[in-house]
Amino acid sequence: MDDVLKLLDLLASGASGERLAEVGAGNPDLGRATELALRISATLSAHRRREAELTALFDTASDLARLHDPDAVLRSIVRRARTLLGADVSYLSLNDEAAGGTYMRVTDGCVSQLFKEVALGMGKGIGGLVAQTARPYASPDYFRDDRVTHTRAIDDAVRDEGLAAILGVPLSVGDDVIGVLYAADRTPREFTPEEVALLSSLADHAAIALDNARLLEEISTHSEAVQRAGEAHDRLMDLVLRGADVSSVAAALADVLQGSLSLFDADSTELARAGEPVDPPAADAVADSLATGRAVVRDGTWVCAVQAGPETLGSIVLADRPTLLDADRRLFERASVVTALLLMLRRSVAKAEDEVRGELLTDLLTAPERNSAALVARASRLGVDLAAPHCVLVAHAESVPRRRLVMAASPRAVLAGSHADEVVLLAREDDASTLAARLAEELGSVVDGLVTVGAAGPACGPVAVASAHAEAVRCLHALLALGRAGEGASAEELGFLGVLLGDRADIGGFVRRTLGPVLDYDARRGTELVATLEAYFAAGGQHNRTKDVLHVHVNTVVQRLERVASLLGEDWQTPSRALEIQLALRLHRWESARTR
């Protein structure tokens, strides 16, 4: 017990995995506890790493808004690039048009003086290649990369610094590449597309800082339009720093430019709008903006692509302003960079939250009894009260990616994620059947496809929620097997099949839903409609045999069955209804005998 407490104490103090393993090695009986402690330690480390990345990203935006010295801005960007990508070294080089090459402007993490002073020829090395092609380039192992034009001076500098993997992205101003931003490791490494996009976004900000410095040197007196553009840029950055959404950025930009503005994603879906409705941009206009790096005008409407490195994130469209002053056009273009940063931030936050929610959902549905108190506490930190009643729903769409279905479902639930190849939702509702039907319709409309939803609950507590999930899965499979794709239902709505599927076996509820009007009529009038139904089905549906069993005239049988039809509906003799009624009659007889 003392060693278990020691493990918990080490976890609370943030001890390393090696220290936890040492305690476990000293006591072989702690094998399982040590394994769980190591897993928890790894999960906490991953969460701290994601939090550090998000903090560094916000600090970068803060520096961009706060610092006015271009060298200070560049040092901040290079330092953040190293932090965000977890690189050993980061550095920034600028083009020297007169010398026909590039030189180091800022470095972070470098130890070699030779590397800091190296000059790169255009087209030579990774930096020269990026500067020449205006495209990102990543080399997982520089000295084994024969795609790069190696020179002795560059290779000696790289070797002296001890670098292996190098990623470079261009700093572009319009059509011109003015420099390159790098991240490098001293061991071979593959850079992911997300890392390339993130470094490219930082490079865009570095290019803006340098371009602003150039403009300040060339222009001694700002015009009213330039001053308005600077204030608007600060306003936009302030919105980002305060956590504003894309709608706030669109409204601020439309206010400054005095036009109607819409922001679209890469699929031309409108994300935000300010002013009158604006049509999605033409594909060729976005392509031209991407190719030139500038805003383009089509039929009096301005279009500017929003991108982070090679990835196209969407576009901004400005209407009601057929002409723009140069300063306003630059503001419009810079707004696309701010928007790219905002979308990247939102993506990073959403990814981190999705991972945390996904881990909670997996633990909740696979091992709810292992540590229920911990699950309740984790859920509470996400704003989910597992002690309150929740309906559990499982959604399935044959031709829709699960990620898209989760995104569509998330606003409609307190917790949503992917589990066991299906989308699982927890919702604070009391009526699982009504909620399932509504979600099937709403989600189907959003994703433009058939969405089938099985539901159960409401349930309280981790164990009950996991049990309700199992019932919802069975309900979903039953709906699909019955050819009811695109519908939503709970076990209660599946009639006798729901009784078989449900964990709670609400036999009384099934009997009431199926025979309630007949039972009530017999109770009020002292009639024998239930007995007549039993005799009718036992006689194979033949009136003459039924009247013999009941010892009444055949007309009496007909009149009683007509009364049954008025109470249960004219379709009571259809095969599916008749099967449910017969099962309900047998269950009613069994329940009556059991309670005597």
Q: pLDDT tens digits, residue range 531-586? A: 888 888 888 888 888 888 888 888 888 888 888 888 888 888 888 787 778 777 87
DSSP state of 279: P
Q: Please answer whether residues 406 and 416 qualify as being in contact, where contact means their C-beta atoms are separated by less than 8 angstroms.
A: yes
| pLDDT value of residue 54 | 59
Strand partners, 206: none
- Per-residue pLDDT band at 501 (split at 50, 70, 90): very low
- Give the C-alpha separation, 141 to 187, whole Å: 8
Strand partners, 423: 395, 418
Residue 445: CB partners within 8 Å, gap ≥ 6? none
> What percent of the chain is modeled with pLDDT above 90?
9
> Is a pLDDT exceeding 50 seen at residue 39?
yes
- Give the C-alpha separation, 157 to 340, whole Å: 34
> Is a pLDDT exceeding 90 seen at residue 426?
no
Q: Which two tokens stand for residue 263?
A: 């922001």
| pLDDT value of residue 46 | 64
Is the bond into 458 cis (omega within 30 degrees of 0)? yes
DSSP code per residue over 504-557:
S--HHHHHHHHHHHHHHHHHHH---HHHHHHHHHHTTT-HHHHHHHHTS-HHHH
Mean pLDDT along residues 71-84: 86
Looking at per-residue pLDDT, the higher value among 595 and 470 belongs to 470
- Give the C-alpha separation, 96 to 180, whole Å: 12
> Is a pLDDT exceeding 50 seen at residue 456?
yes
**By C-alpha distance, which of 527, 548, 529 is closest to 539?**
548
| CA 61 centroid distance within chain | 23
- Give the C-alpha separation, 406 to 446, whole Å: 11
| pLDDT value of residue 139 | 93
Pick the CATH number of 67-217 from 3.40.50.2020, 3.30.450.40, 3.40.50.150, 3.30.1360.200: 3.30.450.40
Q: Write the CA distances from 137 to 120, 132, 140, 156, 337, integer angstroms.
A: 15, 11, 10, 20, 21
Pick the CATH number of 222-347 from 3.30.450.40, 3.30.365.10, 3.40.50.1820, 1.10.10.10: 3.30.450.40
Mean pLDDT of the residues in the chain: 78
Q: Please, what is the angle between helix 31-66 and helix 193-218, to 10°?
A: 20
Going edge to edge, which strands form the sheet with 452-459?
415-419, 422-427, 390-396, 452-459, 488-490
Helix then strand then coil, in percent of the chain rounded to 5, is 60, 15, 25
Looking at per-residue pLDDT, the higher value among 50 and 278 belongs to 278
Best-predicted range by mean pLDDT (143-147, 585-589, 592-596): 143-147
| pLDDT value of residue 164 | 94
| pLDDT value of residue 90 | 95
Strand partners, 102: 95, 120
Task: Answer positive or negative: Cα dihedral of 361, 367, 368, 373.
Answer: negative
Looking at per-residue pLDDT, the higher value among 452 and 252 belongs to 452
Q: Write the CA distances from 25 to 5, 10, 31, 41, 76, integer angstroms.
A: 15, 15, 8, 17, 44
- Give the C-alpha separation, 581 to 568, whole Å: 10
Note every long-range contact of 265-273, with CB atoms under 8 Å and residues 24 or more positions apart, other chains counting: 265/313, 265/314, 266/312, 266/313, 266/314, 271/246, 271/314, 272/245, 272/246, 272/247, 273/247
> Is a pLDDT exceeding 70 seen at residue 487?
yes
DSSP state of 170: E
The CA radius of gyration of the chain, in Å to the nearest whole number, is 34
Lowest mean pLDDT among 54-63, 79-88, 411-420: 54-63
315 sits in which H/E element: strand 311-319
> Is a pLDDT exceeding 50 seen at residue 488?
yes
Lowest mean pLDDT among 21-25, 69-73, 183-187, 398-402: 21-25
> Is a pLDDT exceeding 80 seen at residue 304?
yes
Q: Please answer whether residues 210 and 178 qualify as being in contact, where contact means their C-beta atoms are separated by less than 8 angstroms.
A: yes
Pick the CATH number of 368-501 from 1.20.1260, 1.10.3470, 3.30.70, 3.40.50: 3.30.70
| pLDDT value of residue 49 | 61
| pLDDT value of residue 83 | 85
SS3 168: strand
| pLDDT value of residue 503 | 46
Domain boundaries, the chain: 2-62, 67-217, 222-347, 368-501, 507-594
Looking at per-residue pLDDT, the higher value among 439 and 589 belongs to 439
Mean pLDDT along residues 288-303: 86
Q: Which two tokens stand for residue 433?
A: 């059947």
Residue 573: CB partners within 8 Å, gap ≥ 6? 541
- Per-residue pLDDT band at 197 (split at 50, 70, 90): confident
Looking at per-residue pLDDT, the higher value among 417 and 451 belongs to 451
- Per-residue pLDDT band at 468 (split at 50, 70, 90): confident
- Give the C-alpha separation, 426 to 462, whole Å: 12
- Per-residue pLDDT band at 55 (split at 50, 70, 90): low
- Per-residue pLDDT band at 9 (split at 50, 70, 90): low
Q: Please answer whether residues 130 and 136 qualify as being in contact, where contact means their C-beta atoms are separated by less than 8 angstroms.
A: yes
Residue 332 burial (CB count, 10 A) = 25
Task: Indicate the pTM of the whole model.
Answer: 0.38
- Give the C-alpha separation, 310 to 193, whole Å: 9
Give the CATH superfamily of 507-594. Answer: PucR C-terminal helix-turn-helix domain (1.10.10.2840)
> What are 359-369's pLDDT values in tens digits?
777 777 777 77
- Give the C-alpha separation, 384 to 258, whole Å: 42
Asked, colleague to colleague, whether 67-217 and 368-501 share their fold, the answer is no
Q: Please, what is the angle between helix 372-381 and helix 462-481, to 10°?
A: 80
> What are 98-136's pLDDT values in tens digits?
777 788 889 999 999 999 888 877 778 888 788 778 899
